[in-house]
Amino acid sequence: MTALFVAQCSIASTKRKRFVWAVWTSGPPRVSPFRRPDLSGGGEPSHEAALAKATAAAGGTAALIEPEWARAWLRVMRGHAAWLGEGSMPGARSREARDTEPRGDAESVWSVLGVPQSASRDELRLAFRRRALLVHPDHGGTNEAFRNLVLAYKEADRRARRPKPQR
């Protein structure tokens, strides 16, 4: 009996905010030794455009897999090793994902800054500066409290910059 295989597609963004894709049609990708994709391309302006090109090249549908595979292929094409270390392999969580992962008893970013969730970027900046004067180690606060404040401000600012959905 022949085993069925669905083409697998990996899409990753580049430094220039373009998207590169890699498709494995004859078998799944392998970590060691790295199995190069059967088809690849890049320079697409959006994730959707890259997926459309990849599925068209695969001749049908392709299952979307982790972007680490496409990043590994980019490194191989540049003449580097496919994997930088354990953190770059599929299934490893990124540092950003670990930093934004909710902690068991952590406060919300809004309560750390002392502002409502609807606060503007200017209000966030002012709240950060006010709280920084209270929790900064040079003003009697602790390193941990100040680090938490900085992380909360970065996350709140990232969320405030994110485009709001049009209704």
Q: How far is CA 28 from CA 20, 31, 80, 87, 144, in A?
A: 18, 10, 21, 20, 44
Evaluate whether 131 touches 149 at the Cβ level (below 8 Å): yes
Confidence class of residue 165 from pLDDT cuts 50, 70 and 90?
confident
> Does 77 fall in a domain?
yes
Based on the structure, what is the number of domains in the chain? 2
> pTM here?
0.52
Query: What share of the chain in percent tops pLDDT 90?
Result: 42
For 74-122, what is each residue's pLDDT tens digit?
999 989 888 877 655 666 555 555 555 555 446 788 899 999 988 999 9
User: At which of 39, 65, 92 does a domain end?
Assistant: 92
Domain that holds residue 123: 109-161
Q: Is residue 32 domain-shared with residue 71, that is, in the same domain?
A: yes
Q: Is residue 77 domain-shared with residue 38, that is, in the same domain?
A: yes
pLDDT at 5: 74
> Between 143-161 and 121-135, two packed helices, what is the crossing angle to 10 degrees?
180
Q: Is residue 51 domain-shared with residue 114, that is, in the same domain?
A: no
Specify whether the backbone of 34 is left (phi greater than 0), alpha (psi in -120 to 50) or beta.
Answer: beta
pLDDT at 104: 44
Lowest mean pLDDT segment, chosen from 60-64, 89-93, 148-152? 89-93
Distance of alpha carbon 72 from its chain centroid, rounded? 15
Q: Is residue 77 domain-shared with residue 113, that is, in the same domain?
A: no
> Does 97 fall in a domain?
no
Q: Does 160 score more than 50 pLDDT?
A: yes
> Does 167 fall in a domain?
no
Return the bridge partners of 13, or none: 19
Q: Is the model more confident about 38 or about 91?
A: 38
What burial letters (b/e) apply to 52-90, b meaning 16+ CB within 10 Å? Answer: ebbbebbeeebeebbbbbbbbbbbbeeeeebbeeeeebe
- Mean pLDDT value of segment 9-35: 90
Q: Is residue 116 domain-shared with residue 83, that is, in the same domain?
A: no
Identify the residue whose tokens are 């392709």: 62
Triad 64, 155, 140: Cα angle to 5°: 150
pLDDT at 50: 93
Confidence class of residue 31 from pLDDT cuts 50, 70 and 90?
confident
Q: Is residue 12 domain-shared with residue 42, that is, in the same domain?
A: yes
Q: Is residue 130 domain-shared with residue 82, that is, in the same domain?
A: no
CATH number of the domain within which 140 lies = 1.10.287.110
Q: Is residue 45 domain-shared with residue 16, that is, in the same domain?
A: yes
Confidence class of residue 27 from pLDDT cuts 50, 70 and 90?
confident
User: At which of 92, 122, 142 does a domain end?
Assistant: 92
